[in-house]
Amino acid sequence: MTELKAIIFDVDGTLANTEEAHRIAFNYAFEQAGLSWNWDVELYTKLLKVTGGKERIRFYVSDFLNETIAQDLVVSLHEAKNAQYQAIIKRGELPLRSGILSLINECRASNMKIAIATTTSPGNVTNLVAATMGEDALGWFEYIADAESAPIKKPAPDVYEFVLDKMGLKPEETIALEDSYNGVAAATAINIPTVITVNNYTAQDKFEGAMIVVSELGEAGDATAKCEVINIDAKLDKAMVGDNIDLGTLKAMHKAFTN
């Protein structure tokens, strides 16, 4: 029987609903640079198909403007965007999604290893974790992999391969928590069982291969933050998921899915 040994968290859209703050920060950077670009919600939803801020800017310029852009402008725009995004974080405007902190605390109490596998910038990760969980929380994670850890970004599985190698674990000994098509594609490419918590930007994504797709993890005893099952693998029983997904639920799903 395969034992669950670690939970691996994505960041943007999974730990917190960050994408709207990213969009606002991009638009701020464009305005500061004197550009007339404005990414509305509809456009940004399309741009999210590309992971990585610099990559997203290049994609927009090439595929939507049919133009080219100098690398130094891409870098300066991305730096300005990240500075604004981190200011939003530090003002406390990005709370964790329901059930995230409860699950992390439960993992810590149970000696379940936790890690982060994201393709966002290092500062974005550390500032979000520190602002929402406290400075000490950075030490809770066995490993934090970010955009500098794996230059080839999701949907490529590189960042997950990197984390597994650092932790000395097999894919089937972990569960990934993700929120998007790129995330589930990256994790399932190397057979990591994956839980998807959708958000407004990813609700229409395709999640082939996911172990389960839910609205959110949910909080026990909180009727305003209930987990709703959207899709579930045939190996699992929907009855094993209540109003929230905790560590016990993840262990039960993992056992049914991998054995």
Active-site residue list:
10, 12
- The residue type found at 9 is F
Based on C-alpha coordinates, what's the Rg of the chain?
Answer: 18
β 229-232/212-214 pair status: antiparallel
Can you tell me whether residue 229 is helix, strand or coil?
Answer: strand
CA distance 62 to 64: 6
Of the candidates 235, 107, 102, the residue with the CA atom closest to the CA atom of residue 175: 107
Structure tokens at 235: 């190996």
CA dist., res. 127 & res. 183, Å (int): 21
DSSP string, 184-213: HHHHHTTT--EEEE--TTTTTS--TT-SEE
DSSP string, 20-79: HHHHHHHHHHHHHTT------HHHHHHHTTS-SHHHHHHHHHHHTS-----HHHHHHHHH
Residues 59, 47 contacting (CB under 8 angstroms): yes
Residue type, position 120, single letter: T
Identify whether the C-beta of residue 201 lies closer than 8 Å to the C-beta of residue 44.
yes
